[in-house]
Amino acid sequence: MTATAIHTDHLEFHVGAFRLQDVSVSIPEGKLTAIIGPNGSGKSTLLKIMARLLKADQGEVYVHNRQAKTYKSMEFAQTVSMLTQSKGQLPELTVRELVAYGRSPYKRMFDRMTADDVRIIDWALNMTGTAKAEQQMFHTLSGGEQQKVRIAMALAQKTNILLLDEPTTYLDLAHQLDVMEMLQRINQTSRLTIVMVLHDLQQAANYCDYLIAMKHGRVVGSGNPKEIINPQFLQDVYSIEAKVAFDDDYPVIIPIRKTAYKPEEEIIWSL
């Protein structure tokens, strides 16, 4: 049986009119997991609760079988790193300086970089293919390059668990695949547990070992892509009619049409 990196036990959380309800999930250790589901289904909320950025109203999060809330802040930051959506501005620094920020959980104020820190920063730059740009200012990079640097910064934190909220959003298709392949490589070479919120179900099916599907704040399915993705699943979770074929070892999804058709949507769009 696969060991569990994170598990949640009957989480409940509410914000505004939204409720996360009875969410119990297990994240397999050393695997790539995607949280999938329609807009507003609670994917980012669940990820943030796992990262302790939000506190559940009820239920528990366990990291390596220990209650997440019992970790001291520095200890937690040495165990779980989280890359939020790339909306905020980062300070004007070089790529290397920014990646070095990832070492903060191991430093007290005014501590100098050790040889070990430098080795880990080099490793993070190399793993993400960003070493060649290490002296370039971060804000001068393209969106795809910036995303790789942000991932390098999270890697430099040297945690066992990496959480990513929509790591491929705003990237063109080639850069999306580049980031997914990079994450797969990192997962395979470092046995890092990676959990990400993904919108692209096909990418989730191609690259991830385990999927957690959410709808209306509840978990409505989990398992490996081959086990859970089928036309009925796509109908239930996304309200679409789709065909599912199999290529090698993963399902290929061919969307046909949205089934929960609402005539008023057409009126709005034709105005």
- Catalog residues that contact ligand ATP under the rule CB under 6 A: 15-16, 18, 37, 39-45, 197
Cβ–Cβ under 8 Å, residues 244 and 261: no
Tell me the HSE value of 9 on the side-chain side, using a 13 A CA sphere: 10
Please give the residue whose beta carbon sits closest to ligand ATP in the complex: 16
Cβ of residue 163: shortest distance to ligand ATP, in angstroms?
Answer: 13
Specify the residue, 64 or 199, whose C-beta has the smaller distance to ligand ATP.
Answer: 199
Burial bucket for residue 132 (CB in 10 Å: 0-12, 13-18, 19+): exposed
Element (H, E) at 154: helix 143-155
Cβ–Cβ under 8 Å, residues 156 and 121: yes
Cβ of residue 193: shortest distance to ligand ATP, in angstroms?
Answer: 20
Specify the residue, 18 or 246, whose C-beta has the smaller distance to ligand ATP.
Answer: 18
Specify the residue, 40 or 223, whose C-beta has the smaller distance to ligand ATP.
Answer: 40
Q: Please state, as a whole number, how many other Cβ atoms lie within 10 Å of the Cβ of residue 95.
A: 26
Specify the residue, 45 or 206, whose C-beta has the smaller distance to ligand ATP.
Answer: 45
Report d(CA 24, CA 12) in Å as an integer: 10
Cβ of residue 150: shortest distance to ligand ATP, in angstroms?
Answer: 18
Report d(CA 95, CA 136) in Å as an integer: 6
Cβ of residue 134: shortest distance to ligand ATP, in angstroms?
Answer: 32
Specify the residue, 11 or 124, whose C-beta has the smaller distance to ligand ATP.
Answer: 11
Specify the residue, 23 or 149, whose C-beta has the smaller distance to ligand ATP.
Answer: 23
Report d(CA 256, CA 49) in Å as an integer: 35
Distance of CA 102 to the CA centre of its chain: 17
Cβ of residue 45: shortest distance to ligand ATP, in angstroms?
Answer: 3
Cβ of residue 144: shortest distance to ligand ATP, in angstroms?
Answer: 20
- How far from each other are the two terminal CA atoms of the chain, in whole angstroms? 56
